[in-house]
Structure 1
């Protein structure tokens, strides 16, 4: 299982992680093998109260693997390109 990496400066803002629904589910669903389904993880993210904070953290930390804030790495890359 891949652990969430936080910069020291983000530690005070990390309280959202305690409320994340993914912390209560199978972590393997959020880091599927290449070509594996992301459907289960994205379904969990849809109802998560900290989805926005999760996505923001993934974008700020340039997360390259896994589902964060309901988006895959490819979807996050596209989102960043559109924002530029």
Structure 2
């Protein structure tokens, strides 16, 4: 639902259906989608231990990591790996 103000300053509410593309449908099954982004995008210097624990239980961990590597995700924990770990994986796989 999107709320916006009309030119006459009255509040209008519009309902918009979201469409999930087939290549991103896996995200709906991800455990991170059920827990919130705080664990997966922590403040610099914070622990990623809890995010990695959740990723370790996630049935689509491999798809998540593949997505992060394919799309050069540079922030957060994806597929159980931190930014630094994904960078190292990219370097060693070249």
TM-score class normalised by the smaller sequence: 0.7 to 0.9
Unaligned runs of 5+ in 1: 1-10
User: Which residue pairs with 1:73 in the alignment?
Assistant: 83
Identify, as 1 or 2, the structure richer in strand.
2
Aligned match of 1:50: 60
* Number of positions where the alignment pairs a residue of Structure 1 with one of Structure 2: 74
Partner of residue 50 from structure 2, selected from 30, 33, 40: 40
CA radius of gyration, larger in? 2
CA distance in 2, matches of 1:72, 1:58: 10
Q: Partners of 2:54 and 2:68 in 1: how far apart?
A: 17
Q: Which one of 25, 46, 69 corresponds to residue 59 of structure 1? A: 69
How large is the Cα RMSD of the aligned pairs? Answer: 0.7
**Higher percent of residues as helix:** 1
TM-score, L = length of structure 2: 0.76
Q: Separation in 1 of the partners of 2:74 and 2:93?
A: 18
1:69, 1:38 → 2: CA distance? 12
1:19 corresponds to which residue? 29
